[in-house]
Amino acid sequence: MNRSFLNRIRLGIRVRLTAVLLASLFLFASLEAQVPDSSRINLGFPVYSQYLQNGMVINPAYTGTREVLSGTLSYRMQWMGTSGSPLLQSLSVHSPMKNDKVALGLTAQFMKYGATRSTSLYGSYAYHIRMKRGKLSMGLKAGVDLSNTDYTGLLLNDPGDPVFQSDEKSLVLPNAGAGVYYFSDIFFAGVAVPSFLNYRRNSNGTASPYHDFGQYEFLATAGGLIGISPVLKFKPSVLIDYSFGDTEKIRQFDINGNFIIADLIWAGGSWRVTEQVAVAILQVQLNHQLMFGFSYDYPFGRMNSFSKGSTEFVLRYEFRYKVSAANPRYF
C-alpha cells in the first residue's frame, strides 16, 4: 500500500470516530426526564455582543480556526446602573496542532450576578476537514461549572423563606458540549449544543444531573463577506439561540452588520430582536497580531427604565502570526 492510500484510510477512520462520538453524545442527551422549572438550574449561554471575535464562547468547533495560536480576553458589564447586575469575564486560548487537522483549546469564564458567582473551565477538541472551498470543523468540549451562592448579604422581605434556608453554597457541575462549523473566505455557518447535561436543585442544596433533549439549547450562527470596494467590505451575520423546552423558544436572535475599512477598522452593530437592544461595535486591528474591540448595548425594551446599558471590551492576540495583511481572517 502506498502512503497516500494509508493516509486516506486514517482520515476516514478519524472522521468516522468523531462523527460516532458526536452522534453518541446527542443520543445520550435525548434521554428525557421531567423536571419542574422551579428546581432546574439555568445553564444558559451568557449574553455577549462581540462573540464573532471570540467564537470559542459559542461553538467548540471554532477551536483552531484562526489557524494560529490565538488568545482572547473579554470583560463585560451588563445592565449598568442596576443592583447586582451581571459582570462577565472570559479567556480563551486555542491553536491547531502541527498537522493542522487537530486543534485544542481552553476556555475560562467568570460571572457574577446578584448573590451568585460562577466559574466555568472547559477544554475543547476539534478535527478539521479541508473541503473544496473551505474547511469543516467538528468540535467537542468538556469541563465543569463551579457555582457559589451566598444568601447572607441579601435583604429578604421574608427571612424565613425556605428557598433561602438551604445549605447551598458551592455546586460542581460537570458538563460537555459539541458543535460543527464550516468556514471559507466568504462564508461561515455553525451550530452547537453548549451543554448536554441539565441539573436539578435538590432540597438539601445539592444538584443532580439529568437529560432532557427538549430543554437543550442550540446556538446557530451564519454570515458572509461582501466586497464593496478594494478598501471596504461588509460582513452581515445572524445568531439564533433556540431551546425546544422554553415557552419562548428563541432565547436570543441577533442581526449583525459590520463594515471593514482597509482591514484595520471594523465598525457596525447589532439588533438583538428578542430583547430590543441596539449594539454599537468598534474594533481596531492595532497591528498584525493585536485587536481591540469595544461595544455598547442600549436597551429599548423592558430594561430601558432600569439600566444604563451594557459595555464590553475585547482584546485578542495572535501569538504565531502567519496570515498576511492583504488576506486576513474574517471568520
d(CA 31, CA 29): 6
- pLDDT tens profile 90-138: 999 999 998 889 999 999 999 987 778 889 999 999 999 999 899 999 9
Residues 5-11: what's their mean pLDDT?
A: 52
* pLDDT of the residue at 324: 44
- pLDDT tens profile 178-213: 999 999 999 999 999 999 988 887 777 778 888 777
- The residue ranges of every structural domain in the chain are 3-318
More confidently predicted of 79 and 228: 228
- pLDDT tens profile 134-181: 999 999 999 999 988 766 655 556 566 555 555 556 889 999 999 999
pLDDT at 252 > cutoff 80? yes
Share of the chain above pLDDT 70, in %: 76
* pLDDT of the residue at 165: 57
Architecture of the 3-318 domain = Beta Barrel (2.40)
The answer to whether residues 105 and 96 touch, using CB atoms and an 8 Å cutoff, is no
**Cβ neighbours around 60 below 10 Å, total:** 33
Q: How confident is the model at residue 30 (pLDDT cuts 50, 70, 90)?
A: very low
Q: Which three cell numbers stand for residue 90?
A: 472570559
Of residues 149, 147, 125, 145, the one with CA closest to residue 137: 125
The b/e string for 265-303 (b: 16+ C-beta within 10 A; e otherwise) is: ebebbbebeebebebebebebeeeeebebebbbbbeeeb
